[in-house]
Amino acid sequence: MTYTRADSAYDHLWMHFTRMSSYRDTPPPMIVRGDGAYIYDSEGRRYLDGLSGLFVVQAGHGREELAEAAAKQARELAYFPLWSYAHPAAVELADRLAGYAPGDLNKVFFTTGGGEAVETAWKAAKQYFKLVGKPGKYKVISRAVAYHGTPQGALSITGIPDAKIAFEPLVPGAHKVPNTNFYRAAEMSGVPSLGEDEAVFGRWAADQVEQAILMEGPDTVAAVFVEPVQNSGGCFTPPPGYFERLREICDSHDVLLVSDEVICAFGRLGTMFGAQRYGYQPDIITCAKGMTSGYSPIGAAILSDRIAAPFYEDTKMFAHGYTFGGHPVSASVALANLDIFEREGLNQHVLDNQAAFRATLEKLRDLPIVGDVRGDGYFYGIELVKDKATKATFDEEEAERLLRGFLSGALFEAGLYCRADDRGDPVIQVAPPLICEQEQFDEIESVLRDVLTRAGALL
Ligand code: PLP
């Protein structure tokens, strides 16, 4: 029977990235069921899942075949580690992921989630350079406001000061460069003309990576970590030529290009991997979330043959692993999830519907509070501003009152689960399940229009 006593959450359930004091007197919303693009709370109210849980539930909720895959695997072999032993689900999944991944990304190292995949990629990069006789290369360049996870290595390369300060000192060697926020290109760079031409801005943004490598010393830099589309800050898409230039820079300084696709893989952008959408070849891809559509946790770092080669020699090994990495149940669910992708053409569905999704969200631009609408595929950020003409953003008090005090709750009450995020300038994040169509796009637009209009009146 479903446990519905949400009021005991405050006493015992320490929720993630949550101000627990908000739930001292009022219980948190309790989500008890999902079906397709919708979730239901303990009172029976229905909400459109506008964030796919947390960028996870690609195939939608309530998929019988994914539950079946989990049950079947649990009956057959519930658990075995990948420490010197293999199991069929992990071997098959690795084989399949290598087949989908671009170029020679053929070696799959399983984790239980995204942060561990990022840790794995950084550790692999460090050891790779030790193995090939360049032991001084250990540093990572990543971008401002980017989120890469909460383990201390992943947190170090995260570019959100508020998420890090409490845990300092963190892992040394993490350096930040500007992201690809074209909406604020002029103010971010201090060069007004960069706000006029996206390709010129893209060149500038990529060159900042090279500047950082040169400043730190190419002999000390192991990797650059970037998302295909940066989530934090609100869907910063890559300007034309950005990844091409980044690849050149990485090659010329012998630095690994790591594509953190914890959000962008598995159809979020209409391709199996985000790098494929923008046509670049990473040395390592990190992924997690959508691999099972959330029916069981798993993540992976997918490495190129070239990076893996020195680890595969005689007595060498990657001294790294997780008890639950590549868990049989999760691996079986991932396989069944990939079957759904194939059978239902989920990537093609996103490609076919992305223009309609964009056009529907773009309608919101007529609201005075909406400064920018940006993204690709089924992955959008709507930046909110105080003054559209000057792009002025909110001060701390206004952000608190508007975002935390009003928006998230009001959207939810109006039947849309999504997120008001202020880790950079304030944005509403929208990333619905990949099965969504015009009916859901309209529903998202209509709730956002109503709630953002009311938010504008509060200013
Ligand atoms: N990398 C990116 C780009 C993410 O968006 C996230 C989580 O949102 C992570 C890493 C961390 O993943 P996890 O929460 O599964 O550890």
- For 119-160, write each residue's pLDDT tens digit: 999 999 999 999 999 999 999 999 999 999 999 999 999 999
**Whether the predicted pLDDT of 4 surpasses 70:** no
Q: Say if ligand 1 is within 6 A of residue 425 CB.
A: no
Atom of ligand 1 nearest to the CA of 297: 15
| Number of the ligand 1 atom closest to the C-alpha atom of 261 | 3
Hey, which of 120, 147, 269, 296 would you mutate to test ligand 1's pocket, going by the most ligand atoms within 8 Å of its Cβ? Answer: 147
CB 263 near ligand 1, within 6 Å: yes
The closest-lying atom of ligand 1 relative to the alpha carbon of residue 260 is 3
Q: Is 147 in the pocket of ligand 1 (CB under 6 A)?
A: yes
Q: Is any atom of ligand 1 closer than 6 Å to the C-beta of 115?
A: yes
The reply to whether ligand 1 has any atom less than 6 angstroms from the CB of 37 is no
Residue 251 vs residues 188, 203, 301: alpha-carbon distances, Å = 27, 16, 20
Please give the Cα distance from 296 to 286 (Å, whole number): 17
CA of 121 to the centre of ligand 1 (A): 13
272 pLDDT exceeds 70?
A: yes
Q: Distance between CA 45 and CA 40 in Å, rounded?
A: 5
Mean pLDDT over 357-368 rounds to 98
Q: Which of 33-37, 236-240, 418-422 has the lowest mean pLDDT?
A: 418-422
Residue 292 has pLDDT above 80, yes or no: yes
Omega of the bond prior to 169 within 30 degrees of 0, cis?
yes
Residue linked to tokens 């009021």: 7
Is residue 6 very low, low, confident or very high in pLDDT (cuts 50, 70, 90)? low
pLDDT at 316 over 70: yes
Using most ligand atoms within 8 A of CB, pick from 148, 152, 273, 285 the residue to mutate for ligand 1.
148
> By C-alpha distance, which of 296, 380, 334, 256 is closest to 100?
334
> Would you say the CB of residue 260 lies under 6 angstroms from ligand 1?
yes
Angle 242-252/198-216 helices, nearest 10 degrees? Answer: 20
- Kindly report the number of other CB atoms within 10 A of residue 144's CB atom: 19
Dihedral Cα 190, 193, 196, 201, nearest 10 deg? -60
**Which of 31-45, 86-100, 301-315, 389-403 has the least mean pLDDT?**
389-403
HSE-CB at 73 with a 13 A cutoff on CA atoms is: 25
- Ligand 1 in reach of 143 Cβ (< 6 A): no
Q: Looking at residue 1, what is its pLDDT?
A: 47
155-212, pLDDT tens digit by residue? 999 999 999 999 999 999 999 999 999 999 999 999 999 999 999 999 999 999 999 9
Mean pLDDT for the stretch of residues 376-405: 92
Using the atom order of ligand 1, give the atom closest to the CA of residue 54. 8
Distance CA 361, CA 381 (A): 10
Residue-level pLDDT at 403: 81
Checking if the pLDDT of 53 tops 50, the result is yes
Average per-residue pLDDT for the chain: 96
Q: Cβ–Cβ contacts within 10 Å for residue 255, how many?
A: 25
ipTM entry: 0.99
Rounded to whole angstroms, what are the CA distances from 178 to 81, 252, 362, 458? Answer: 40, 20, 26, 32
What domains appear along the chain, each with residue ranges and CATH number? 6-51+345-458 (3.90.1150.10), 66-344 (3.40.640.10)
Nearest atom within ligand 1 for CA of residue 146: 3
